[in-house]
Amino acid sequence: MRKLYRSQTDRKLAGVLGGIAEYTGIDSSLLRILFVLGILFSVGSLPLIYLVWIFVVPNEEVK
């Protein structure tokens, strides 16, 4: 069973989107573009969700 972690290698800010990309197999650049578009065209809950994920999802263990 795979676990969701914040990425240590594919991070720009906190590794949240890099970790989601590794977990789902989707390109991290595409997720970042979709995230920015979601922020621009949404009510504004995405930044709050991102902040919560920073504190809830653990960092990836360094191998």
- pLDDT per position as a tens digit, 36-56: 888 888 767 888 888 898 899
Hey, CA dihedral for 16, 25, 2, 45, is it positive or negative? positive
CA–CA distance, 22 with 4 (Å, rounded to integer):
8
Average pLDDT over residues 9-22: 87
- State the DSSP H helix or E strand holding residue 44, giving kind and residue range, or none if neither: none
Q: How many residues does the chain have?
A: 63
pTM above 0.95, yes or no: no
Phi then psi for residue 5, to 5 deg, are: -130, 160
Instruction: State how far the Cα of 16 lies from the Cα of 54, in Å rounded to an integer.
Output: 7
